[in-house]
A and B are shown apart, each in its own frame.
Chain A
Amino acid sequence: MAKEAAGSSGGPQPEQRSGPGVAPDNLMVKCPKCKEILYSRDWEKNLKVCSRCNYHFRLTAHERVNLLLDPGSFVELDAAMVSVDPLDFVSRSQSYAEKLQEEQAKVNLNEAAIRGYGTVEGLPLSLAVMDFRFIGGSMGSVVGEKVTRAIELGLERRWPVLVVSTSGGARMQEGFYSLLQMAKTAAALARLGEAHIPYFSLITDPTTGGVTASFAMLGDVILAEPGALIAFAGPRVIEQFMHVKLPEGTVNSEFVLQHGMIDAVVHRRELRATLARLLRLYKVPGATRAQQPASAAPQSQVEAATLLSRQSSQSRAEVGGGQDGLRS
């Protein structure tokens, strides 16, 4: 897995641009799938997709937000939410509390998910986005809470909800608390469903275990990026348990699409436009208008409109050359 290139976040959080996570720019990147050597600049312009084999590199949560939302529209909520150590968990002489600190410093994120709201082509939505770098995107109480709060904001404002998943499953270090996050998020989604508010799930590489068996698979519409590992039991688990050898890429996006578990496999380049289409189709009656929650209310409406037109022209340009990097 290639390390994410420097300073690629560019999000509204200034702390994301500095700190220990930022390494000097590398000129080249090697595709882990086809081993092609790619120029970093081209690779980033191509949204971190291998131009040769179409391998979709993993994105950080903030890169994902920049990819999907209108530039500058994302408002992060609960950024300071952190895990506690309810079990006083110790493994290999390292406490979970220490492990958390280590990960926070390494990844420059407080947890394995961020949540907030924003717009896509001017249409508002509440969202939570996972980040695989933080303890394998594992779901503990904070991830469960952030996803649940994203759903609740959707309920409150009558906005569609999007969760972008990438996770190794429930977090062992929080034991039963982690497992119960599956029930918590599913229960919140059941309420959202009763309120007739749509929920979109975007599954990215890799997503397994408790996240697959809860909110990732509960979308009214479920999308996945090409070639993403998507499973309840990951290939290694299957291989160990069943004593078989699985061919590379057996349980992936295309596999679950073929077996009727998801609605579409969407190239990264098309994701924003696809999301916008869904938001137009699944319009929620009585939705709170996008600008209302933002403090700079009247201004942002105007801004959203201009961004919308700028966004459309960019989308058109993309067909020709493929630009609009993750650095928006």
Chain B
Amino acid sequence: MVYDLEFEKPLAELEKRIASLQRKGERLRPEEHGQLQEYERELRRRTEEIYRSLTAWQTVQVARHKDRPYTADFIHLMCEEFFELHGDRRVGDDHAIIGGPALFNGETVMIIGHEKGRGMREKMYHNNGMPHPEGYHKAIRLMEQAEKFGYPVICLVDTQGAFPGLEDEERGQGSAIAASLYAMARLRVPIIAAVIGEGGSGGALAISVADRLLMLEYSIYTVAAPEAAASIIWRDKVYAPQAAEAMRISARELYALGLIDDLVPEPLGGAHHNHRLAAENLKTALIHHLQELRQIPVDRLVQMRYEKYRTVGPFGFAS
């Protein structure tokens, strides 16, 4: 366990003390043994305490943690079999979105997700999870294939946003995202989307129009990155923590607002402390929702999905 975030300093301190005692191994004196257990209890207690009331900005840091499990990790840990499909059948293959058929709990599903990549080389290969239009075209292709074979679609969402380059404008980033929203709205198979880290704006929404939207406990979903919102509304990036707070971007707040369907618990100290347990929790939730959705006749399912999105967003009338 490594506590390396700013607000985890007290935890890191405790962890250091624990480690130094543990290094003594057999030479540990009896009173030191008691001390060690005390520190361990204390660490657990403090971690629970801190994570129970993370601020929005602290949640952002956990959601972006470099050791957080990514889509490829979740696929590996949750699925018995996975075959990656490549390419949008037009111009290329975008590695920021990966996907393909997977055996999940004994049945074939189509799994699609943003992949950030770990380490410099992988990050470059996956463009840090920021898709180009080809990524969305590939996602649509895979979803349509899922519909063809009647496979449920599982989308894992983890991106800062769609890539904002000039070439992306040339190849129609806006069109590609819009086309994906349009396709998902009427897809005739169950769709579950789970935000595993960062749900960044339209680039995330493009693969999360779903019958059920789940979020991992310390993940975020933002209309715009807190930094971007801060520079637009507060005219300065340094107000990102305030923007994060004001926009209510944490999974817990979105769940409280009724904007997501389920909150998936994370291991103590965040998913990056225990990938296996994080994947187990997500798998349990996915199986539960999948079983419910399979009971619903497809016409009804599509109708319910429509109504879910149709009714979102409060408004009033001026007198």
Contact = CB atoms under 8 A, between A and B. Distances in A.
Contact of B168 (A90, A145, A172, A232): A232
Contacts of A141: 312-315
Contact of A172 (B183, B205, B229): B229
B172 A238 contact: no
Q: Which residue of B183, B233, B254 has the most chain A CB atoms within 10 A of its CB atom?
A: B233
A87 B310 CA distance: 20
B4 interface: no
B149 interface: no
A241 B225 CA distance: 13
A217 B233 contact: no
A125 to B, nearest CB: 21
A89 interface: yes
B185 A186 contact: yes
Contact of A250 (B166, B185, B223, B224): B166
B234 to A, nearest CB: 6
B166 A246 contact: yes
A183 B248 contact: no
A135 B33 CA distance: 62
Interface in B206-239: 206, 209, 221-224, 228-229, 232-234
A233 B131 CA distance: 13
Nearest to B130: A241
A82 B317 contact: yes
A179 B310 contact: no
Interface string B159-183: 0001011101111111101110111
Interface string A212-247: 111111100000000000011100011001101010
B169 A144 contact: no
Interface residues of A, number: 67
B316 interface: yes
Interface stretch (A35-43, A189-197, A285-293, A314-322): A189-197
Contacts of A238: 164-166, 169
A107 B247 CA distance: 25
Contact of A232 (B202, B221, B242, B305): B202
Contact of B224 (A92, A170, A193, A213): A170
Contacts of A259: 169-172
Contacts of A255: 169-170
Given A175-B222, A187-B305, 12 more contacts: A81-B318, A87-B247, A141-B312, A176-B248, A193-B182, A212-B174, A214-B181, A215-B178, A255-B169, A255-B170, A259-B169, A259-B170
Interface of B: 162, 164-166, 168-175, 177-179, 181-186, 201-202, 205-206, 209, 221-224, 228-229, 232-234, 242-243, 246-249, 254, 257, 259, 305-306, 309-310, 312-319
